[in-house]
Each structure stands twice: as C-alpha cells, then as structure tokens.
Amino acid sequence: MLINLKKWSYWQFLLILPLALGKVVQLTAENFEGETLKGQWYIEFYAPWCGHCKNFGPIYEKASEEMKDKINFGQVDATVEKDLAETFHVDHYPTVKLCAEHLHFFLIYFYFFILKKKKEN
C-alpha cells in the first residue's frame, strides 16, 4: 500500500517518522537497566557543548536507522548522568560503549583464564 505523503501535514509526518526510522533512546539512571536489559546496545556518552559530539550525532542517528532491527542505540548525557558515565569509565566525549547480554561474563573469563595464564607463563 502506497501512502501519499503530499497530503500529510508537517506534524503528521513528524509523528510517524520515529516509527519508520531507527530510534536512539535517551538513557538516564532511572531507565538504563530496564531499557538495556535485553539485546545488544551501542551507547553514546556525550556532552551537549561538545563539538565532536555535535558532528557525530547525525552519523549515530543514521547508523541507528540502518541497523534498527539488529542492534539498539542509546544516548547518555554524561554531564547530567555523571554516575553512569563514571560507571562506564567515560573520560572524553563522545564515547561509544557496547552493552550486550553475557558480555561481562566473557570479559571476566577472558581476564582470569586467558590473560592471567599468559602472565603466569
């Protein structure tokens, strides 16, 4: 079914646009665990005043559109959510981190059983 967008008002188009495109979820301390509990997430930590973040924003949005069915995208304003930024060891902007189910277990295994073994030998 084709939709005639010429008959749509600007506001109708803006209301439907997020459904068609990938969506970058704004993450806060309150919704972080609930949102990122399932699936894989790219999470961008940014500062609103950061020039590099402003340049990276459209690229990140486009990536979320192109990969909307494969991976989730989120953003954290690190100037507001300082505890989240500290938890993820963010010390510059923009920083993108991958959060995935069982990723932490893999990293712990890798550290204790692979790296430690190499250090001992």
H-state helical runs in 21-102: 32-36, 51-66, 82-87
Which is catalytic among the residues 34, 51, 89, 102? 51
CA 109 from centre of chain: 25
Which is catalytic among the residues 53, 57, 74, 92? 53
57 classed as catalytic: no
74 classed as catalytic: no
Q: Residue 119's CB: how many other CB atoms inside 10 A?
A: 7
Nearest C-alpha neighbor of 64 from the set 16, 32, 17, 29: 17
99 classed as catalytic: no
52 classed as catalytic: yes
Which is catalytic among the residues 22, 39, 52, 92? 52
What whole-number distance in Å separates Cα of residue 76 and Cα of residue 25?
A: 9
What whole-number distance in Å separates Cα of residue 22 and Cα of residue 66?
A: 7
Q: Cite the active site residues.
A: 50-53
